[in-house]
Chain A
Amino acid sequence: MTQPTQDILRGTLDLLILQALSRGEMHGYAVARWIEAATGDALAVGEGTLYPALHRLEERGWVKARWGASENNRRAKYYSLTRKGRAQLRVEAENWRRYAAAVFAALDAPAAK
């Protein structure tokens, strides 16, 4: 359960969820599918961590939830971004870009002599 990919994910899972929900309301399974498709299946093992993350985001007020009917007509919990969540997504995405740029720059730098 402690694969390196997952540890990296833990910090970025929130960002991925917010990004998924920025496209519209969806249930947890749909979020999982989106992450699967968008990241080349980063959550291949440990998909379950998605749910505590969703509930935590809900607790913080970044996403809100409601019960609705799914495509196959089952009761499902649908999540969507709140105004606060949208703002948070902007902040976190920006941070990530800056961070990633810094790491890339470091990787591309000539080796020290």
Chain B
Amino acid sequence: MARWERFRRLFGPDPRSDVDEELSFHLEMRIRELVERGETPERARELALRRFGDFEGSRAECVAIDERRRRRMLRAEHVAELRQDIRYALRMLRRAPGFATVAVATLALGIGANSAIFSVVNGVLVKSLPFRDAERLYEVRMLYPDGTEYSGLSAPDFMSVREESRTFEQVEAYTGGVVTLLGVGEPKQVLGIRVSDGFFDLLGLRTALGRGFLPEENEPGRNRVVVLDYGFWQREFGGDAGVIGRTLSLGGEPYTVVGVLERGARPPEQGDVYAPLEYDETFSAATAQGRRSEYLGVLGRAGQGVDAARVRADLERLGSLLQERFPDTNGRLTFTAAPLRDVIVGDVRKPLFVLLGAVGFVLLVSCANVANLLLARASTRQAELAVRAGLGAGRGRLVRQLLVESAILGLLGGAVGLLLAYWGTRALVAAQPADIPRLNEVGIDGTVVLFTAGIALLTGLAFGVVPALQATGTRLMSALRRGGPGAGDGGGQRMRSGLVVAEMALAVVLLTGAGLLIRSFVELTRVDTGFQPERAAAFRVTFQGAAYESGDLVRNRVDELLERIGALPGVTSVGATTALPLTGLGTIWNFAVEGAPPPPPNVNAEIAVARVTPGYFRTIGAPLVRGRDFTAADRSDAAPVALINEAAARRWFPGEDPIGRRVTVGPDVREIVGVVGDVLQRSPGEAAVPQLFIPYAQRTTSSVRIVVRTAGDPLALAPAIRAEVRALDPDVPVTDFTPLEQLVSASLARPRFYTALLSLFAGAALALAATGIFGVMSYSVAQRRREIGIRIALGARAPDVLRMVVARAMALAAVGLALGISAALALGRVLRSQLFGVGLLDPLTLGAVVLVLGASAAAASYLPARRAAALDPARTLREG
């Protein structure tokens, strides 16, 4: 310290005058010397200046150097002071370990929750997708007359977009499917993705081993080559480099392994194996053939500086062009595009931001709590601070000292919080909550650490500044004089009460949000899904290869399999379908009702189609409402028939009887023979959409889901079922064996996840707020010992005192409730899209919030109240 002081004096207030003095001394000395040698004073001055040279230049340079040096020293001085403050603060905290632990724990909770949720937001929403030029990638979609979009294109439409788009630099396509892999251990189902020639290049995916595909490998007959996914290669081949050149049997065809993708190279739809798309005659921009067979995902990279609006306008132009060129197939259709990022993370953005907001509230509550602790502590530290002020520390210095203390608390809280966040995110990722995309990219990285450090510091300042100003206020000297803590502390008490009210208001907002989500969740679980999931399970079988070249062969096998499984003891019913409940719409086909006028321009002429076997509806427990179910007689040689669900009946046959009506479905004209009850296709939150069912026997597919209803636990029958399949054909794998109840719970996974997290945060906020009430009431009871003693001496009984203290806590809680509920209603909009079957003004939720908060406030104030009631008036009066 003394060393710096010396420098400071050396510089004086202004380095400029020092330099002037030094330089003029030089000139004067030189002039004196010249005069002594006999020059006239004027001449001497002229000579001295000439010798000196550029006076102004030297002067300016000296001043600049000194200024620079002075600034550097001041900085060093600040650092030294800060270091001193930090040492002092650490000593103070060590001396109050209880306070420090509670404060750090409270902050760690708030900061940790923020870091954890931020790391999810960062990984899912902020980090760019792991693709080349990811921000310029789009998914091309069909745009239907009613404004709905469908993310699949036909091969000729893909070629049209590829060749005639003016805004895309590159357009590529892929299609995924399940294929049977033979020759590597047990026969198994793998996800195979077929890709167009530049697909890997578009996304910037490279191979770790071998090569990607050659342009000519999309030619028919030359596409029997395969590139393996890195994880699949590790799992199935133990990372053996000798896999290159090996031949695998995929779907009954031999494929040569030519490469392995890099670790972490994952296209938007990840497969186990990749093979080239076969460019048959429909891969042509000129053909009308195959235009309405949409099976390709199409991705395009927009040119530099081209925005989404221009991409969409260009695709619409192209769409109208095709409408003119191919009126029969592209009549009412056009294209649009969505940024790939939105496609991948789209609907999780809002809930994640809601969660981030919620943890922000938790952090505010922790801040208020720690501020309260600091305020209470400040009154006990007034003597210490007054001594320091008396010894000459200015108010600024004391405030800074206190702020350094709170910043240290904040940073300690941040460090522990980061640890909590690390465990929290690991647990979160391990729980694989619902279908949140990119979860594998979530983790604590530099951005998260920076964010945590930032909020830790900010937090420290936020909760520290008011207590610091308060503690160093004008009453310091009077406190020193009186020599006792606490006296004349009305302002502090008011501020503490204010903070507690704010805490409770914040907790109420979170409680209300969590309550609404819980209510919605309960409503969702009550929704009638249209089928009976108990004691039923589904699994997938795929028939591929030479033995299943024709549809008849597959159908016979499926018939045989259903018969064998149906004969198993414990199986009450069995059926097959291509689209299980709650797993999506499946295939969409063109649809028209014979004899009905063409639908208005804003209505899609299409319907979701599933293929089912005769026993399917009975097996899943969906009722037949009208007409008849399919029978074994509805085979390919019989008249084409169809069933529709009730939604389709309402939609296409309002007020009419659909039975016996003829409809065009895809390539066929079919007669509607029955109506089945609505079975939810997507999730309990989304109503059933029109759906049409055709007999599996009239249109077979190589892969079906078989549903089994059992007398007991369906999982117990799994081994027997697998044995039947193996007995039928050892090369047919059984995959995705799933109890139907799991379908229901999986469809609720996302709302369950958000509800659980928000409830967790609301609970944390409530616990913190209750701690706050407890602290404030304890403190106020301690402050009012004397007054309470007098009351007791004057005849107040214990229950009166108890009531008085609890009533004060309840008054604070009431203010917090009123503020919190108003805020919750104002903020409720952000939750609306996640609510189901419950309004924002839900009386049950609000009532529960009032009850929970009131009970917490009462419980938190009970202990201090009991202490007050047990006061011995004689002693407190003597002490006072």
B57 adjacent to chain A (CB < 8 Å): yes
B51 adjacent to chain A (CB < 8 Å): yes
The answer for the CA separation of A32 and B51 in the assembled complex, in Å, is: 11
Contact status A45-B22, CB under 8 Å: no
B878 adjacent to chain A (CB < 8 Å): no
Q: How far is the CB of A28 from chain B (nearest CB, A)?
A: 6
Residue from the list A47, A48, A55, A70 in contact with B66, Cβ < 8 A: A55
Contact status B22-A52, CB under 8 Å: no
Contact status B51-A45, CB under 8 Å: yes
The answer for the CA separation of A55 and B28 in the assembled complex, in Å, is: 20
Contact status B50-A45, CB under 8 Å: yes
Contact status B53-A49, CB under 8 Å: yes
Q: How far is the CB of A20 from chain B (nearest CB, A)?
A: 14
Contact status A76-B69, CB under 8 Å: no
Residue of B52, B59, B66, B69 contacting most chain A CB atoms (<10 Å): B52
In the complex with contacts A45-B50, A47-B52, A65-B10, A52-B58 CB distance below 8 A: yes
Contact status A74-B25, CB under 8 Å: yes
Residues of B within 8 A of A99 (CB): none
Contact status A46-B26, CB under 8 Å: no
In the complex with contacts A52-B65, A56-B65, A59-B65, A1-B10 CB distance below 8 A: no
Contact status B53-A45, CB under 8 Å: yes
Q: How far is the CB of B75 from chain A (nearest CB, A)?
A: 14
Q: Of all chain A residues, which has the CB nearest B27?
A: A29
The answer for the CA separation of A77 and B62 in the assembled complex, in Å, is: 13
Residues of B within 8 A of A52 (CB): 58, 61-62, 65
Contact status B21-A75, CB under 8 Å: yes
The answer for the CA separation of A45 and B22 in the assembled complex, in Å, is: 19
Residues of A within 8 A of B66 (CB): 55
Q: Of all chain B residues, which has the CB nearest A70?
A: B25
Q: How far is the CB of A68 from chain B (nearest CB, A)?
A: 11
Residues of B within 8 A of A51 (CB): 19, 22-23, 26, 58-59, 61-62
Tally of chain A residues near chain B (CB < 8 A): 27
Q: Mark B54-83, 1 if CB is under 8 A from A, else 0.
A: 110111011001101100000000000000
Q: Of all chain B residues, which has the CB nearest A28?
A: B26
Q: Mark A20-44, 1 if CB is under 8 A from B, else 0.
A: 0000000111001000000000011
A67 adjacent to chain B (CB < 8 Å): yes
Residue from the list A27, A44, A55, A70 in contact with B62, Cβ < 8 A: A55
B313 adjacent to chain A (CB < 8 Å): no
Residues of B within 8 A of A56 (CB): 65
Contact status B53-A27, CB under 8 Å: no
The answer for the CA separation of A74 and B32 in the assembled complex, in Å, is: 13
Residues of B within 8 A of A32 (CB): 26
Residues of A within 8 A of B54 (CB): 1, 46, 48
Residues of A within 8 A of B68 (CB): 59
The answer for the CA separation of A70 and B28 in the assembled complex, in Å, is: 12
Majority secondary structure of chain B interface residues (helix, strand, loop or mixed): helix
Contact status B52-A29, CB under 8 Å: no
A66 adjacent to chain B (CB < 8 Å): yes
In the complex with contacts A59-B65, A59-B68, A66-B10, A29-B57 CB distance below 8 A: no
Residues of B within 8 A of A77 (CB): 18, 21-22, 25
Q: How large is the interface on B (under 10, 10 to 19, 20 to 34, 35 or more residues)?
A: 20 to 34
Contact status A44-B30, CB under 8 Å: no
Residues of A within 8 A of B55 (CB): 48
Q: Mark A53-88, 1 if CB is under 8 A from B, else 0.
A: 001101100000111001010111100000000000
Q: How far is the CB of A3 from chain B (nearest CB, A)?
A: 11
Residue from the list B18, B22, B51 in contact with A47, Cβ < 8 A: B51
Residue from the list B19, B21, B51, B69 in contact with A44, Cβ < 8 A: B51
Contact status A46-B53, CB under 8 Å: yes
Majority secondary structure of chain A interface residues (helix, strand, loop or mixed): mixed
Total A-B residue pairs with C-beta atoms closer than 8 Å?
71
Q: Mark B27-62, 1 if CB is under 8 A from A, else 0.
A: 011101000000000000000001111110111011
Q: How far is the CB of A37 from chain B (nearest CB, A)?
A: 13
The answer for the CA separation of A27 and B28 in the assembled complex, in Å, is: 13
Residues of B within 8 A of A43 (CB): 51
The answer for the CA separation of A77 and B23 in the assembled complex, in Å, is: 10
The answer for the CA separation of A93 and B722 in the assembled complex, in Å, is: 93
Contact status B51-A49, CB under 8 Å: no
The answer for the CA separation of A46 and B61 in the assembled complex, in Å, is: 14
Residues of B within 8 A of A28 (CB): 22, 25-26
The answer for the CA separation of A28 and B22 in the assembled complex, in Å, is: 8
The answer for the CA separation of A1 and B68 in the assembled complex, in Å, is: 27
The answer for the CA separation of A1 and B57 in the assembled complex, in Å, is: 12
Residues of B within 8 A of A45 (CB): 50-51, 53
Residue of A51, A67, A70, A75 contacting most chain B CB atoms (<10 Å): A51
Residue of B26, B28, B54 contacting most chain A CB atoms (<10 Å): B26
Residues of A within 8 A of B62 (CB): 51-52, 55
Residues of B within 8 A of A66 (CB): 10
Q: How far is the CB of B49 from chain A (nearest CB, A)?
A: 9
The answer for the CA separation of A49 and B25 in the assembled complex, in Å, is: 15
The answer for the CA separation of A43 and B30 in the assembled complex, in Å, is: 14
The answer for the CA separation of A65 and B7 in the assembled complex, in Å, is: 10
Q: How far is the CB of B522 from chain A (nearest CB, A)?
A: 74
Contact status B53-A48, CB under 8 Å: yes
Residue from the list A29, A58, A65, A67 in contact with B29, Cβ < 8 A: A29
Residues of A within 8 A of B26 (CB): 28-29, 32, 47, 51
The answer for the CA separation of A52 and B58 in the assembled complex, in Å, is: 6
Tell me the B801-818 residues at the A interface (CB within 8 Å): none
The answer for the CA separation of A77 and B10 in the assembled complex, in Å, is: 10
The answer for the CA separation of A82 and B371 in the assembled complex, in Å, is: 51
Q: Of all chain A residues, which has the CB nearest B18?
A: A77
The answer for the CA separation of A73 and B543 in the assembled complex, in Å, is: 111
Contact status B10-A49, CB under 8 Å: no
Residues of B within 8 A of A44 (CB): 51
Contact status A1-B53, CB under 8 Å: yes
Contact status B69-A48, CB under 8 Å: no
Q: How far is the CB of A67 from chain B (nearest CB, A)?
A: 7
Residues of B within 8 A of A55 (CB): 61-62, 65-66
Q: Of all chain B residues, which has the CB nearest A77?
A: B22
Residues of A within 8 A of B29 (CB): 29, 70
Contact status B10-A67, CB under 8 Å: yes
Residue from the list B19, B30, B61 in contact with A29, Cβ < 8 A: B30
The answer for the CA separation of A88 and B53 in the assembled complex, in Å, is: 28
Q: How far is the CB of A51 from chain B (nearest CB, A)?
A: 5
Q: How far is the CB of B26 from chain A (nearest CB, A)?
A: 5
Residues of A within 8 A of B25 (CB): 27-29, 70, 74-77
Residue of A1, A27, A55, A67 contacting most chain B CB atoms (<10 Å): A55
Residues of A within 8 A of B18 (CB): 77
Q: Of all chain B residues, which has the CB nearest A43?
A: B51
The answer for the CA separation of A52 and B63 in the assembled complex, in Å, is: 9
Residues of B within 8 A of A1 (CB): 53-54
Residue of A47, A48, A76 contacting most chain B CB atoms (<10 Å): A48
Q: Of all chain B residues, which has the CB nearest A45?
A: B53
The answer for the CA separation of A1 and B28 in the assembled complex, in Å, is: 22
Q: How far is the CB of B6 from chain A (nearest CB, A)?
A: 9
Residues of A within 8 A of B21 (CB): 75, 77
Q: Of all chain A residues, which has the CB nearest B26?
A: A29
The answer for the CA separation of A108 and B533 in the assembled complex, in Å, is: 106
Q: How far is the CB of A60 from chain B (nearest CB, A)?
A: 10
Q: Of all chain B residues, which has the CB nearest A44?
A: B51
Q: How far is the CB of A52 from chain B (nearest CB, A)?
A: 4
Inter-chain pairs besides A29-B26, A49-B58, A76-B25, 8 sampled, C-beta below 8 Å: A28-B22, A47-B30, A48-B52, A51-B58, A52-B61, A55-B62, A56-B65, A67-B10
Closest CB pairs A-B (n = 5): A48-B58, A46-B53, A52-B61, A55-B65, A48-B53
Q: List 5 A-B contacts (CB under 8 A).
A: A1-B53, A48-B57, A55-B61, A55-B62, A59-B68
Q: Which residues of B contact A (CB under 8 A)?
A: 10, 18-19, 21-23, 25-26, 28-30, 32, 50-55, 57-59, 61-62, 65-66, 68-69
Q: Which residues of A contact B (CB under 8 A)?
A: 1, 27-29, 32, 43-49, 51-52, 55-56, 58-59, 65-67, 70, 72, 74-77
